[in-house]
Amino acid sequence: MNTANLLVELFVEELPPKALRTLGDAFAGVLRDQLVAQGLVKDDARLTAFASPRRLAAHLSGVRAVAADQAVSHKLMPVAVGLAADGTPTPALLKKLAALGADAGAVAGLGRVHDGKAEVLYLERTLPGASLADGLQKALDEAIRQLPIPKVMRYQLRDGWSSVHFVRPAHGLVALHGSAVVPVSALGLAAGRATHGHRFEAEASPVVLRDADSYVAQLRGEGAVIASFAERRAEIERQLAAAARTLGGGVRPIEDAALLDEVTALVERPNVLVCQFEEQYLEVPQECLILTMKANQKYFPLLDGAGRLTHRFLVVSNIWPDDPSAVIQGNERVVRPRLQDARFFFDQDRRRTLLSRVPQLAKVVYHHQLGTQGERVERVRAIARAIGLQLAGAMGAGPGRLRTPEGEVAQDWLLTCVDNAALLAKTDLVTDMVGEFPELQGTMGAYYALNDGLPDEVAHAIEDHYKPRFAGDGLPRGTVGVVVALADKLETLVGMFGTGNPPTGDRDPFALRRHALGVIRMLVEKALPLQLPELLACTLPAFAGKITDPSAELSSFIYERLAGVLREQGYSAQEVDAVLAPRPQRLAEVAPRLDAVRAFAGLSEAPALAAANKRVTNILKKAGEVDAHVNPGLLHEAAEKDLHAALQAVAPGADAQFAAGDYTASLRTLARLRAPVDAFFEHVMVNAEQSDLRLNRLGLLKQLHAAMNRVADLSRLAA
């Protein structure tokens, strides 16, 4: 069978850079899948996707000119429906055959198979394999239809009448099977073998491709274009590192994968050049300068060995002039006004204290049901103070003193810092710098707090109260920051759930899932001695009746997020279910409980005890309200006496180990109950006819259930 490699390219106007890699992968992937489905290529064929600012392309190996013929079996209908008593076809059968492209002549060759209910007619036939021209046309149409275009354009074709919808106007289509052009069309274009290279650097225009396999080499040589996104990205990385090395002193370009992807999508022939700006601008916080260079100019700032911004930066040019000085000077001239703006904003903002900006927050709407940012700030202050008092109660180190991870501090000092940070945390939202660069909220607040002479703890808390902003982000540095960050996130969660705005499906406009994960991470990773129900309860009064109590729904939401995190960390669904079923109030205890459950599951006694727990749970559920009281005088059977005695001997030690936080030891101690539990269920009838015996035995089981399930619901471990 005739096979050759296939190349398909769409040549278009400049594609949206942030979507380029996705568009390239999707275009190539759908083409491949469609050709595989039609039998024109094997599913293990090698696929190479190409994406440059002005092209989407795919190269696929081992593509057939014609697919193999296919034997197809069509189930038609029951014999009784398709054939009359004399064996002639009914109108229903003839209509069905016509729909499949057959006629009455096919009736004699129909097969008959009994499907268990009735005898059914089948049409067996061989369909000729699709030709590449037909199959590729279908695949190309589908690849264009499924392209994840961020925003569709409508443009007119050359005929002056027709119009099409696509991501950008398309100007060329290449389809080569080996060296032969495949006659397909798309977006008003007929396929050929000519494409175009770099606008200014190409040696030939157009670039006439010899065959599918010469695409990369011809584009690079004649067209001065690196077609592969991955190869172009790697080349930029290489040049960035090489340029930094020439400057010495451990200078390195800033690491930013998103910026690297975007720049890769903007150039076809990258050329990294070293530029600089006046050192006086380094007086401005480096976060401002870095952001303006990256976001506005797509430059790569250079950091020294200590991570401080230098006055040099790297530019990825799309041209290779003999003398690059004009390009370098042009970029230096362009960046200077941006840096001047940043310095102006910084100087202007520092003329006013953060405290003087607090009244402005009353004019900024936060949410139509929850009022202004000013009202929100007061809620966060109240919540932060309540959390601070909870911590003071749990971390006391003597009268008026707290033992924090940073050391022993005065309670009043901590609460004052918490209140100041909560009051000022949102004030940088009304500064000029954050108005220009919203990404700097929190960061600029910290700089301005230090400028106002506030303690480092307050400044750090203002910067950190947004953390963690994303998966893998760091947590607030100190206790003050943790308290304010918790208060801020809980205010959002309780407020939005309380006004009927929880996440729905994929929609989460208030980032509530991220806020919940932030709360979980702080409680767990900081090992905070705080209980989730108490945290939610202390948040409610700050809303002064504006919302309904969402504690039950929000608590379930947080535990669901926690369950997802734990499964991602490698714990089994069964282990997670067992530990979270009792709703442990201190989330910091969840991980050690999971480890204890995992250790318990490895004991020989575990399966029997888990099964017994499941049985006890079901019995107690059916019994309804049961008093966990045992009258020793009503214990008649030896097995129930033994279980009661064993429970009295084992439970106090297990409870003491539980109270000390040694959950593994507690479960190991309880494992000694296996033999008496097994004997109890083998020899004792729980639902005795005498009510006093029945209630006494249910009380014994209630005590057993309470003792066994303090660490986790062990019944969830039963197979």
Confidence of residue 432 (pLDDT cuts 50, 70, 90): very high
Please indicate, yes or no, if residue 575 is contained in any of the structural domains. Answer: no
Residues 366 and 333 placed together within one structural domain of the fold? no
Tokens of residue 641, six digits: 């006496």
pLDDT at 672 exceeding the cut of 60: yes
Averaged pLDDT of the chain:
92
Residues 686 and 601 placed together within one structural domain of the fold? yes
Q: Which residues pair with 407 in a beta bridge?
A: 404
pLDDT digits (tens, 9 = 90+) for 619-660: 888 878 878 788 888 888 899 899 899 999 999 999 999 999
Residues 6+ apart with CB under 8 A from 562: 520, 580, 587, 590
Q: Compute φ and ψ for 253, nearest 5 degrees.
A: -75, 150
Judged by DSSP in three states, 512 sits in: helix
Confidence of residue 406 (pLDDT cuts 50, 70, 90): confident
Residues 25 and 106 placed together within one structural domain of the fold? no
Confidence of residue 444 (pLDDT cuts 50, 70, 90): very high
Q: Does pTM surpass 0.85?
A: no
Which of 315, 330, 349 represents a domain boundary (last residue)?
349
Q: What is the pLDDT of residue 523?
A: 96
pLDDT digits (tens, 9 = 90+) for 113-122: 887 778 888 8
Confidence of residue 285 (pLDDT cuts 50, 70, 90): very high
pLDDT at 308 exceeding the cut of 60: yes
pLDDT digits (tens, 9 = 90+) for 555-611: 999 999 999 999 999 999 999 999 999 999 999 999 999 999 999 888 888 888 888
Q: What is the DSSP letter of 14?
A: P
Give dist(CA 658, CA 707) in Å, integer: 10
Q: What is the pLDDT of residue 487?
A: 97
Please indicate, yes or no, if residue 583 is contained in any of the structural domains. Answer: no
Tokens of residue 439, six digits: 């990404």
Please indicate, yes or no, if residue 577 is contained in any of the structural domains. Answer: no
Confidence of residue 424 (pLDDT cuts 50, 70, 90): very high
pLDDT digits (tens, 9 = 90+) for 31-70: 999 999 898 998 889 999 999 999 999 999 999 988 887 7
Give dist(CA 212, CA 231) in Å, integer: 19
Residues 454 and 486 placed together within one structural domain of the fold? yes
Please indicate, yes or no, if residue 526 is contained in any of the structural domains. Answer: yes
Tokens of residue 582, six digits: 């009792």
Give dist(CA 433, CA 568) in Å, integer: 39
Q: What is the DSSP letter of 104?
A: G
Q: What is the DSSP letter of 544?
A: T
Confidence of residue 124 (pLDDT cuts 50, 70, 90): confident
Give the domain CATH number at 373. Answer: 1.10.3210
Q: How far is CA 369 from the centre of its chain?
A: 29
Residues 200 and 276 placed together within one structural domain of the fold? no
Q: What is the pLDDT of residue 628?
A: 75
Residues 557 and 611 placed together within one structural domain of the fold? no
Task: Return the sign of the alpha-carbon dihedral for residues 683, 684, 690, 693.
Answer: positive
Give dist(CA 407, CA 410) in Å, integer: 10
Mean pLDDT for the stretch of residues 490-500:
96
Confidence of residue 718 (pLDDT cuts 50, 70, 90): confident
pLDDT at 697 exceeding the cut of 90: no
Give the domain CATH number at 640. Answer: 1.10.730
Task: Give the burial string for 233-254 (b: 16+ CB within 10 Å, else e).
Answer: bebbeebbeebbeebeeebbbb
Q: What is the pLDDT of residue 64?
A: 93
Q: Which residues pair with 60 in a beta bridge?
A: 6, 47
Residues 6+ apart with CB under 8 A from 164: 154, 155, 157, 187, 188
pLDDT at 107 exceeding the cut of 80: no
| Best CA proximity match to 675, nearest among 638, 635, 709 | 638
Give dist(CA 235, CA 664) in Å, integer: 53
Q: CB–CB of 294/260 below 8 Å?
A: no
Residues 681 and 694 placed together within one structural domain of the fold? yes
Q: How far is CA 484 from the centre of its chain?
A: 25
Residues 6+ apart with CB under 8 A from 194: 172, 174, 206, 207, 208, 209
pLDDT at 233 exceeding the cut of 90: yes
Q: What is the DSSP letter of 687?
A: S
Q: What is the pLDDT of residue 379?
A: 97
Residues 6+ apart with CB under 8 A from 367: 495, 496, 499
Direct distance between the N- and C-terminal alpha carbons of the chain, in angstroms, rounded to an integer: 54
Please indicate, yes or no, if residue 195 is contained in any of the structural domains. Answer: yes
pLDDT digits (tens, 9 = 90+) for 66-81: 888 777 777 888 887 7
Q: What is the pLDDT of residue 549?
A: 95
Residues 61 and 78 placed together within one structural domain of the fold? no
Q: What is the pLDDT of residue 332?
A: 96
Give dist(CA 717, CA 715) in Å, integer: 5
Q: What is the pLDDT of residue 649?
A: 93
Max Cα–Cα distance, the chain, nearest Å: 105
Tokens of residue 450, six digits: 């230090």
Q: CB–CB of 377/426 below 8 Å?
A: yes
Give dist(CA 413, CA 423) in Å, integer: 15
Instruction: Provide, rounded to the nearest whole percent, the portion of the chain with pLDDT above 70.
Output: 99
Residues 6+ apart with CB under 8 A from 501: 510
Give 377-429 as a DSSP string.
Answer: HHHHHHHHHHHHHHHHHHSB-STTEEEETTEEEEHHHHHHHHHHHHHHTTGGG
Q: Compute φ and ψ for 162, nearest 5 degrees.
A: -80, 155
Q: CB–CB of 215/240 below 8 Å?
A: no
Which of 314, 349, 384 represents a domain boundary (last residue)?
349
Residues 633 and 522 placed together within one structural domain of the fold? no
pLDDT at 1 exceeding the cut of 60: no
Range of the domain at 598: 588-717
How many domains does one find in the chain? 5
Give dist(CA 245, CA 248) in Å, integer: 5
Please indicate, yes or no, if residue 603 is contained in any of the structural domains. Answer: yes
Give the domain CATH number at 21. Answer: 3.30.70
Q: What is the DSSP letter of 169?
A: -
Q: What secondary structure, in 3-state letters, does 355-381 show? A: HHHHHHHHHCEEECCCEEHHHHHHHHH
pLDDT digits (tens, 9 = 90+) for 324-361: 999 999 999 999 999 999 999 999 999 999 999 999 99
| Best CA proximity match to 7, nearest among 213, 260, 149, 282 | 213
Residues 437 and 491 placed together within one structural domain of the fold? yes
Q: What is the CA radius of gyration of the chain?
A: 36
Q: What is the pLDDT of residue 159?
A: 78
Residues 212 and 200 placed together within one structural domain of the fold? yes
Give dist(CA 147, CA 154) in Å, integer: 15
Give dist(CA 441, CA 463) in Å, integer: 8
pLDDT digits (tens, 9 = 90+) for 372-405: 999 999 999 999 999 999 998 888 767 788 788 8
Q: CB–CB of 201/269 below 8 Å?
A: yes
Tokens of residue 142, six digits: 């589908």
Q: Report which secondary-structure segment, H or E, holds 611.
A: helix 606-623
Q: Which residues pair with 49 in a beta bridge?
A: 58
Instruction: Provide, rounded to the nearest whole percent, the portion of the chain with pLDDT above 90.
Output: 70
Q: Which residues pair with 409 in a beta bridge?
A: 402
Q: CB–CB of 199/37 below 8 Å?
A: no
Q: Compute φ and ψ for 183, nearest 5 degrees.
A: -75, 80
Q: What is the DSSP letter of 543?
A: G
Give dist(CA 558, CA 550) in Å, integer: 12
Integer angstrom CA distances of residue 637 from 613, 672, 685: 21, 20, 10
- Tell me the H-state helices in 50-131: 79-82, 91-99
Confidence of residue 719 (pLDDT cuts 50, 70, 90): low
pLDDT at 526 exceeding the cut of 80: yes
Give dist(CA 474, CA 495) in Å, integer: 25
Which of 516, 542, 570 represents a domain boundary (last residue)?
570
pLDDT at 316 exceeding the cut of 70: yes
pLDDT at 319 exceeding the cut of 90: yes
Residues 316 and 362 placed together within one structural domain of the fold? no
Please indicate, yes or no, if residue 582 is contained in any of the structural domains. Answer: no
Please indicate, yes or no, if residue 323 is contained in any of the structural domains. Answer: yes
Give dist(CA 187, CA 177) in Å, integer: 20
Residues 6+ apart with CB under 8 A from 690: none
